[in-house]
Structure 1
Amino acid sequence: IVGALEKEIREHGYYMMLYMAGSVEETVRLASSWNIEGLVALGCRAEDVQKMKEQLKMPVVFIDSYFENQDCYNVGLDDFGGGYMMTNYLIRQGHRRIAFLADQQEPAGVDRERLLGYQKALEENGIIFHERDYVPISFRKQTRHTRLWEFCQERLNEYTALFFASDFYASDAVFIFQSQGIRVPQDISVVGFDDNLFAEHCRPMLTTVQQHVADKAFYAFALLQRLIRGEECIEKNIHLPVKLVIRESVQPLEP
């Protein structure tokens, strides 16, 4: 998404400065010390959005951020719909024991929306969601691999399908499973979210939910340009559509 943003910004005669901020205060300090015309912020929590809105005196557009009752501009996905769509697909393939795996102990932002979509599909199909059906696996590689290995040894037989919050984590898990002699999809079905290179390069190739990252960059920068020019933007919270992409990583079960 950073590459797509840079392309949009450069093609419209602007220069992009990229900064990985550790806190809102750090972001505000940097944005205030440079003569920037506008800011694009990725993946912010609701409390961060509020702080930035209060402290920054420049146009700001958020990407993949979730907040309520705030007069802010955001471009994201129908993450809830994607989670709902994928879970319904798995259920139609005969799977009723489905786990959801993401990197945070308490999912937030896009992961939380995808989890809520998954839970809604379970509910509508008469499947009870238990707390243990959400499995935190960590963004730290060593911790994630340890948890996935333990999951293989202790809990894999509880499920017939695993829904990962991203293709990166799904493809990483497939590698771990295969190293333990667990076949995908014959022994366990695995799906992801994003439809990026990890989904295509994984073997088997992943069934996933497709998003178009370039569209996020296009709409975010278009909004920012209008705000910089002082134009009115009626649509403030844009949720781009998603699509199910079916490949090789799901094994249909006998009814």
Structure 2
Amino acid sequence: MTLGVASAGRRVAPTIRQVAALAGVSRATASRAINGGHLVSPQARAAVEAAVAELGFTPNPVARSLATRRTGSVALVLPEPNTRVLTDPFFASTINGMARALEHTDLQLVLLIARQDGWSTRTVRYLTTGHVDGAVVASHHRDDRLNRELVESGLPCVFIGRPLDVPATARYVDTDNDHAAQLATEHLIGLGRTRIGTIAGPADMSAAIDRLSGWRAAMGAAGLAQDAVELADFTVEGGGAAMARLIEAHPDLDAVFVASDLMASGAVGELSDRGVRVPEDVAVFGFDDLGVATTTTPALSTMGQPIEDMATRAGQILHALLAGEEVEEISVMFPARLVLRESA
């Protein structure tokens, strides 16, 4: 078959009609074969593939999208302000993990960032009206209508972190936060510390809820008081402010378990400003081990969680769902590891 040539001598790209003619099938059959349709005989599929190879045909991505109703894109949704996403190593690890999951696929990653009035409504509309084929959602909050509406819409989605107040069918990957926090607190108790406080994260996030639960479990098992609790927002500034409130309300503290390394670094700074020695006067234990823990003075003991691996697994699950594979697991739990440094 001879391809047409443009007036300037430029070679004209072959069309689906030419592929169909060379393969001896209808245009509709050729389109179904190229776009992965199931209603094509093996003989017709082989003929179309041979014609595609001979002609050097490249499918038009817009036409393919219309034929398959797929965009070839998936979203990573981070319901947090831009400034937080750009400064918290949790999000860099999450993005890296998702990129790793999609590296050898044809899927393009779309990043959606922001947390402000009306954002959830706009994001749900964007995600559920054909702009992406699926989504991974990280750092989500209880009051985000996004979570429930995504699950109920039927859009393939996976959460990083156990989502709150959503149908039980929601798929997620997470760290065993409860057990990890219990291990961290038990370590402090094992050091002989008896007046142990905690700086927990936001009360509308499952990671914060579970880490507080683990601290309470360890304190209760040891018969220790559980009244020294402050909440913060997983930021350095929030951790410093919470530490100030905690030490003023409980000046006899000799240790504190902090639900993130960013908050723990703020707590260490606040204690230093007050002339409180770490760990001699107050031992400090963090959570994450994403780089911040080694930049404080002293370096932080912490619970390491594999955020990048978790994000990669979430991306792999989403890819499998989009490929029509059976994914039996609803939740995947990753263990945290005890990382001991100078602060505890």
Instruction: From the CA coordinates, give the structure whose radius of gyration is larger.
Output: 2
Give, in whole Å, the separation in 1 of the partners of 2:261 and 2:280. 19
Q: Which residue of 2 aligns with 1:52?
A: 150
Which of the residues 182, 185, 191 maps onto 1:93?
Answer: 191
Is 1:116 the counterpart of 2:209 in the alignment?
no
Identity %: 27
Q: Which residue of 1 aligns with 2:62?
A: none
Give, in whole Å, the separation in 2 of the partners of 1:87 and 1:143. 21
Is 1:81 the counterpart of 2:81 in the alignment?
no
Q: Quick check: 2:170–2:330 contact (8 Å CA) kept in 1?
A: yes
Alignment of 1:33-182 (within 5 A): 33-45=129-141, 48=145, 49-54=147-152, 56-67=153-164, 70-104=168-202, 106=203, 108-130=205-227, 133-138=228-233, 145-152=240-247, 154-182=248-276
One-letter amino acid matched to 1:83: A
TM-score between the two structures when normalised by the length of structure 2: 0.66
- Aligned CA RMSD, in angstroms, stands at 2.2
Give, in whole Å, the separation in 2 of the partners of 1:82 and 1:25. 35
Q: Which residue of 2 aligns with 1:253?
A: none
Note the C-alpha offset of 1:120: 0.7
One-letter amino acid matched to 1:116: S
One-letter amino acid matched to 2:316: A
Q: Residues 76 and 173 from structure 1, CA distance in 2 versus in 1: closer, same or farther, beyond 3 angstroms?
A: same
Note the C-alpha offset of 1:146: 4.4
Note the C-alpha offset of 1:50: 2.3
Is 1:213 the counterpart of 2:307 in the alignment?
yes
Give, in whole Å, the separation in 2 of the partners of 1:80 and 1:146. 24
Note the C-alpha offset of 1:9: 2.0
One-letter amino acid matched to 1:52: L
TM-score between the two structures when normalised by the length of structure 1: 0.87
Q: Quick check: 1:63–1:76 contact (8 Å CA) kept in 2?
A: yes
Q: Quick check: 1:137–1:147 contact (8 Å CA) kept in 2?
A: yes
Q: Which residue of 2 aligns with 1:32?
A: 128
Give, in whole Å, the separation in 2 of the partners of 1:94 and 1:172. 24
Give, in whole Å, the separation in 2 of the partners of 1:21 and 1:34. 20
One-letter amino acid matched to 2:224: I
Q: Which residue of 1 aligns with 2:35?
A: none
Q: Quick check: 2:234–2:260 contact (8 Å CA) kept in 1?
A: no
Q: Quick check: 1:193–1:210 contact (8 Å CA) kept in 2?
A: yes
Note the C-alpha offset of 1:29: 1.3
Q: Residues 21 and 34 from structure 1, CA distance in 2 versus in 1: closer, same or farther, beyond 3 angstroms?
A: farther
Q: 3-state SS of the aligned residue for 1:192?
A: strand
Q: Determine which structure has greater relative contact order: mean sequence separation of CA pairs < 8 Å that are 6+ residues apart, divided by chain length.
A: 1
Q: Residues 71 and 220 from structure 1, CA distance in 2 versus in 1: closer, same or farther, beyond 3 angstroms?
A: same
Figure out how many residues of one structure are paired with residues of the other and give that number. 245
Give, in whole Å, the separation in 1 of the partners of 2:242 and 2:254. 18
Q: Which residue of 1 aligns with 2:20?
A: none
Q: 3-state SS of the aligned residue for 2:288?
A: coil
